[in-house]
């Protein structure tokens, strides 16, 4: 029997990360990373080829990735999205946003490069429409997503044997989007947004594109509702 390829997904306990883990679960052994071990365990219970990986990504060390000898797919999905006008956001908010959305991504990738190179693997960065366009009140979040795009572009050129894909989802029906709508003073109507499962299928499509195809960027937008 052929051994399953291994996929590691961060922020996999809920929302888009959970949907990506489930999309990959039919064909991959999936490692689900996140802070909430109980939530991760609930997802793993439905996936016969999966394991939990409780971790604090902003404090990642070599010990946390010991034993990961081969990683075929690394999906960077974990992130935070504090909102507010520039006059309202402290330096600590900017630091926290960059720490998880960019620096933790770079460090986890660095630590896993030997395992990724061994597999001639695939790195997927789940970005945002805010990584293409900055809007008022989204300054720190958009800045982190622009930086994440730059990271992916640099990695793609530095590691030509790896595939690197940036996925730019529009607004999705997640708990984060519910909080965004509360901040904006609007209603949360799930039908107006992308389903997390649609983002999961997009990631799966990139992964399954075949060795001769390198999907460098994918942009998804909801068919109804706001597009940013």
Active site residues: 141
CA distance 222 to 165: 20
Q: Is 51 helix (H, G, I), strand (E, B) or coil?
A: strand
CA 167 to chain centre: 9
Beta 163-169 vs 122-126: how paired, if at all? parallel
Picking from 141, 146, 204, the residue whose alpha carbon sits closest to that of residue 177 is 141
Are 122 and 207 in contact by the 8 Å Cβ rule? The answer is: yes
CA distance 159 to 48: 32
CA distance 115 to 8: 11
Give the helix/strand (H/E) hosting 84. Answer: none
């Amino acid at each position: 029997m052929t051994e399953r390829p291994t996929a590691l997904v961060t922020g996999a306990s809920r929302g888009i990360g959970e949907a990506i883990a489930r999309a990959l679960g039919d064909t991959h052994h999936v490692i689900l990373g996140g802070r909430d071990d109980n939530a991760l365990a609930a997802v793993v219970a439905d996936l016969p080829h999966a394991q939990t990986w409780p971790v604090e990504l902003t404090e990642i060390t070599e010990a946390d990735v010991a034993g990961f000898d081969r990683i075929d797919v690394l999906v960077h999905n974990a992130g935070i999205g504090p909102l507010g006008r520039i006059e309202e956001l402290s330096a600590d908010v900017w630091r926290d946003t960059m720490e998880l959305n960019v620096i933790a991504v770079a460090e986890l990738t660095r630590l896993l490069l030997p395992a990724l190179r061994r597999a001639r693997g695939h790195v997927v960065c789940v970005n945002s429409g805010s990584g293409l366009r900055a809007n008022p009140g989204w300054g720190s979040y958009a800045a982190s997503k622009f930086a994440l795009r730059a990271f992916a572009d640099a990695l793609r050129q530095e590691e030509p044997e790896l595939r690197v894909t940036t996925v730019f989802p529009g607004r999705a029906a997640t708990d984060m989007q519910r909080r965004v709508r509360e901040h904006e003073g609007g209603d949360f109507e799930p039908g107006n947004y992308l389903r997390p499962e649609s983002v999961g299928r997009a990631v799966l499509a990139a992964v399954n594109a075949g060795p001769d195809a390198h999907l460098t960027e994918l942009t998804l937008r909801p068919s109804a509702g706001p597009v940013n």
